[in-house]
Amino acid sequence: MTSETAGKPIECTAAVAYEAGKPLTVEKVIVDAPKAHEVRVKVTHTAVCHTDAYTLSGVDPEGAFPSVLGHEGAGVVESVGEGVTNVKEGDHVILLYTAECGECKFCKSNKTNLCGSVRATQGKGVMPDGTSRFHNLKGEPLLHFMGCSTFSQYTVVADVSLVTIDTSAPLSSVCLLGCGVTTGYGAAVKTADVQKGDTVAVFGAGTVGLSVVQGAKARGASQIIVIDVNDQKKQWSVDFGATDFVNPLKDLKEGETIVSKLVDMTDGGLDFTFDCTGNVKVMRDALEACHKGWGQSIIIGVAASGQEISTRPFQLVTGRVWKGSAFGGIKGRSEMGQLVSSYQKGDLKVDDFITHKRPFTEINNAFEDLHHGDCLRTVLDLAN
Ligand SMILES: NC(=O)C1=CN([C@@H]2O[C@H](COP(=O)(O)OP(=O)(O)OC[C@H]3O[C@@H](n4cnc5c(N)ncnc54)[C@H](OP(=O)(O)O)[C@@H]3O)[C@@H](O)[C@H]2O)C=CC1
Ligand SMILES: N[C@@H](CCC(=O)N[C@@H](CSC=O)C(=O)NCC(=O)O)C(=O)O
Ligand SMILES: [Zn+2]
Ligand SMILES: [Zn+2]
């Protein structure tokens, strides 16, 4: 069966980022039909990730405007372009900002989840053919974002940038697997490959950090220390599996630093630390709190243009390792099914991250929610 709208442009509501640092404009836009190897998706739910706010703020070197932001979303396939074989109309899907083509050098390697197939054009805000499928009612083209653009009731993505999931999984929840939960959980169980008995410190108790905690707990870590500047994050940290919580603004004695405190708490340093803040000073602390000889620090947080990390080379000479993790090292099309299934079996917490729900028209409030200590994720319902 083919949808009535297949092959035609669709007018729908989107939240357009016209300028850095300004609220989004909720307005009607036109979404063109998918071209070859593209898929048009009716986005049912999206959450706002810290990275959307980062790009909107103007500090993302790849940030470009006007654009349709959003990358943590799920929906239903409305129509497919020529040559698409991996999804069909009606499929329930999660959008993937880390594509998986299965054929490139990266995809063929078991060392990375980064796929080279669409990343270059994705970073420029266009589809692989170099053009956009979005324009406003004045006819001006609007850029895509992270290969997803979930802040629109309909979006067009490359066929390598989405994965079909079981229709029994609620899209209003599993949209969070499009970024935050998968990123943190995967960073612990895949990038770091935390083992039973390991000690772990997680800097930043947002959705990403708490998902690292969840992954470390699943692996049987013996000590999971969360470091966050907001005491409101303590209860959540404990609920997700933390054994200790440290607020560096309040819990350090005179002469103590967060590094010396963590080293003291763990008999010489952590086996694994994770930066989930995007703050380059925190990244240094996270590295230096690692155990001499083998401790690994995983950078997940995204830092502004011009920011750089530094440490004494001696920290690395003496065996500490600095690593990074994108989308938790998860290959989206091959591995998302297992995460959805873990969620459905009750083994992976997803709903616990949804602290707020709003209609799509309140998207600017969802960006404000992010700055409040009582918010992990706001899920937006695009039907409302
Ligand atoms: N590599 C990847 O694949 C991905 C990276 N990211 C990045 O990961 C980071 C976390 O994302 P998300 O969980 O959504 O963000 P959140 O903003 O929800 O969480 C970050 C947490 O860190 C806290 N924090 C800020 N400064 C410090 C500090 N100096 N020490 C300790 N804690 C601090 C924040 O507190 P407060 O709110 O009070 O400032 C907040 O609780 C972001 O940089 C995001 O862009 C996200 C997804 C994927
Ligand atoms: N455009 C940004 C890129 C920031 C970044 O590192 N993004 C993460 C995902 S953040 C999701 O919420 C990522 O996966 N990076 C790998 C990639 O290929 O983009 C900048 O230049 O800072
Ligand atoms: Zn994200
Ligand atoms: Zn690939």
Phi/psi at 361 (nearest 5 deg)? Answer: -60, -20
Phi/psi at 105 (nearest 5 deg)? Answer: -55, -40
The CATH number given to whatever domain includes residue 250 is 3.40.50.720
179 is catalytic: yes
pTM, two decimals, is 0.98
* 255 Rama class: left (phi>0) / alpha (psi -120 to 50) / beta: left
Active-site hit among 40, 101, 276, 356 = 101
Low-confidence ranges of the chain (pLDDT < 70): 1
Q: Are residues 188 and 275 in the same domain?
A: yes
Q: Are residues 31 and 165 in the same domain?
A: yes
Distances (CA, A) of 7 to 10, 20, 31, 157: 9, 33, 11, 15
- Residue 139 domain-assigned (yes or no): yes
**CA 277 to ligand 1 center in whole angstroms:** 4
- Residue 171 domain-assigned (yes or no): yes
The CATH number given to whatever domain includes residue 105 is 3.90.180.10
- Pocket test residue of 49, 50, 51 for ligand 2, highest count of atoms within 8 A of CB: 51
Q: Are residues 161 and 37 in the same domain?
A: yes
Name beta bridge partners: 378.
356
- Residue 86 domain-assigned (yes or no): yes
Q: Are residues 174 and 133 in the same domain?
A: yes
Q: Are residues 90 and 197 in the same domain?
A: no
- Residue 332 domain-assigned (yes or no): no
Calpha distance 61→259 (Å, rounded): 31
Q: Are residues 224 and 372 in the same domain?
A: no
50 is catalytic: yes
- Residue 280 domain-assigned (yes or no): yes
- For residue range 147-161, what is the model confidence (pLDDT) as tens digits? 999 999 999 999 999
Phi/psi at 284 (nearest 5 deg)? Answer: -65, -45
What is the pLDDT at residue 96? 99
Q: Are residues 168 and 200 in the same domain?
A: no
- For residue range 144-200, what is the model confidence (pLDDT) as tens digits? 999 999 999 999 999 999 999 999 999 999 999 999 999 999 999 999 999 999 999
What is the pLDDT at residue 259? 98
- For residue range 38-81, what is the model confidence (pLDDT) as tens digits? 999 999 999 999 999 999 999 999 999 999 999 999 999 999 99
Q: Are residues 151 and 205 in the same domain?
A: no
Which atom of ligand 1 has the smallest separation from the CA of 375?
18
Q: Minimum-distance ligand to the CA of 328?
A: 1
What is the pLDDT at residue 3? 85
- Residue 314 domain-assigned (yes or no): yes
Pairing mode of beta strands 272-275, 244-246: unpaired
Number of domains in the chain: 2
Is the CB of 276 within 6 Å of ligand 1? yes
- Pocket test residue of 95, 277, 353, 367 for ligand 1, highest count of atoms within 8 A of CB: 277
- Residue 1 domain-assigned (yes or no): no
- What tokens were used for 134? 């979005």
Burial class (CB in 10 A: 0-12, 13-18, 19+), 168: exposed
Calpha distance 294→313 (Å, rounded): 15
Q: Domain of 269?
A: 184-326
What is the pLDDT at residue 1? 60
Q: Are residues 370 and 283 in the same domain?
A: no
**CA 179 to ligand 2 center in whole angstroms:** 11
